Structure 1
Amino acid sequence: MAATRLTATVAGCAAAAAALAALTACAPPGANTENTANTAAQADAPLVEVGAGSSLAPVATPPAAPLTTELKAASIPKMGKVVTDQEGWVLYRFDKDTAKPPKSNCADKCAQVWPPALTDGNPNLTGVDPSVVGTVTRDDGSRQITLAGWPVYRYIGDPKPGAWKGQNVGGVWFVVAPDGKKNLTCLPTPAPTAVQPPAASAEATGNGDGGTGGY
């Protein structure tokens, strides 16, 4: 009986290790594995893939409308150069926006999923060239940070600072590099789907998507 239990335990650990190894590359569909290491410890429970396309509820999210007081250039495994806010949340840009002139086309339901990086006009910069940093006035009168003219956002689907599950969502959202360009180092395929906005917020806005057609 003891030998049977030992065999089962070894097999379970081996299966967990194999599943974790399969998640370490960028290539698998929807893979985004920098936050999956903790699941390997749960050897007695099934491993759940938490790829970039996952719609699992985020473990933690930034506030709905915080001020971004700092922009920091950082380097993240598998993704490379990114820009984060003062708390380490990765920032994104949206292909349906415009840079010349700067214009945000993400509002209402879209902005609940992709909170704009708002500012009082004086963010501290670490590793980001001041010449590419600007602001744009949103339709509600708030000021949003731009990089090379592109408005930047957080993503509520990121479970913790440093995560980048918003990469290639809908084929229109991308991690922003310190120069304002899209970071295309790792593109999950097929393009992931955005998480849903918080239920209370969606009801308050009548489920509108701000005219983005897919946020």
Structure 2
Amino acid sequence: MAATRLTATVAGCAAAAAALAGLTACAPRGTDAAAGYDAAAQQQIPALNDVGASSAPPPSTAPAAPLTLRLKAATIPKMGKVVTDQDGLVLYRFDKDTAKPPKSNCVDKCAQVWPPALTDGNPELTGVDPAVVGTVVRADGSRQITLAGWPVYRYIGDPKPGAWKGQNVGGVWFVVAPDGKKNLTCLPTPAPTAVQPPAAAGPTATTNDDGGSGGY
């Protein structure tokens, strides 16, 4: 799937002499979910084709989960260009996934902390180029939205719309830009640790290797 190549603006965060100073410089700040959206007319695109699958997707065995009904390009303080869902929650991508071919490697406990942006194949777009939007079939048969081939997720550690506390978690999770690239405008240092999965998940859930730093 051809992705519109946009130039990612990489604004350096002030180098900190101490970890606390680095965190302060890049501290996420919540914003009004309605603020900063591109003034593009909303578009509704035809049902998306699954990518990265050679045959029809298997019947879904996943429990019912809320769908991502809308993707919006937004501009938020310190971070700049991001993509949010219909509730204004910032979306992320995972370095241990792949885009060519698209594949999600965030399962089990990882997916409890980073819920995949699931779809019925017909999300509404605001300021996001339909050419970079697709889907991939997950191991459980559900369909996840991709941007430029990268599966996208929410983060349960974000307390409200516009927050981006998942940025640089474990050194492998990053806010996704409208073109599907990593938004590296601001990187909290040291790399934050992911929040724990919900207690209801139970102690027997398996953990997806995160390569350290608690990134799941």
* TM > 0.5: yes
Q: Which amino acid aligns with 1:29?
A: G
Distance 1:194 1:211 in 2: 13
In structure 2, what is the equivalent of residue 180 of structure 1? Answer: 180
Unmatched 5+ residue regions in structure 1? 1-25, 37-63
Q: Where do 1:121-136 residues align within 5 Å?
A: 121-136=121-136
Q: Which amino acid aligns with 1:190?
A: P
In structure 2, what is the equivalent of residue 30 of structure 1? Answer: 23
Per-residue deviation, 1:210:
3.0
1:80-128: CA deviation from partner (whole Å, max 9, x where unpaired): 0000000100000000000000000000000000000000000000000
Whether the 8 Å contact between 1:65 and 1:116 is mirrored in structure 2 is no
SS at match of 1:145: strand
Within the alignment, does 1:190 sit opposite 2:183 as a pair? no
Per-residue deviation, 1:200:
1.4
Per-residue deviation, 1:29:
2.8
In structure 2, what is the equivalent of residue 209 of structure 1? Answer: 207
Give runs of ≥4 in structure 1 deviating > 4 Å.
211-214
What is the identity percentage for the equivalent residue pairs of Structure 1 and Structure 2?
83
Distance 1:35 1:141 in 2: 34
**TM-score of the superposed pair, with normalisation by structure 1:** 0.71
Per-residue deviation, 1:211:
4.2
Whether the 8 Å contact between 2:170 and 2:210 is mirrored in structure 1 is no
Root-mean-square deviation (Å): 1.9
Call closer, same or farther: CA 1:70–1:186 in 2, change over 3 Å.
Answer: same
Per-residue deviation, 1:179:
0.1
Aligned length: 162
Bigger CA radius of gyration:
1
Distance 1:212 1:185 in 2: 23
1:106-151: CA deviation from partner (whole Å, max 9, x where unpaired): 0000000000000000000000000000000000000000000000
Distance 2:189 2:210 in 1: 21
Normalized per residue, the structure richer in helix is: 1
- Larger RCO, structures 1/2 (Cα 8 Å, 6+ apart): 2
Unmatched 5+ residue regions in structure 2? 1-12, 15-20, 32-63
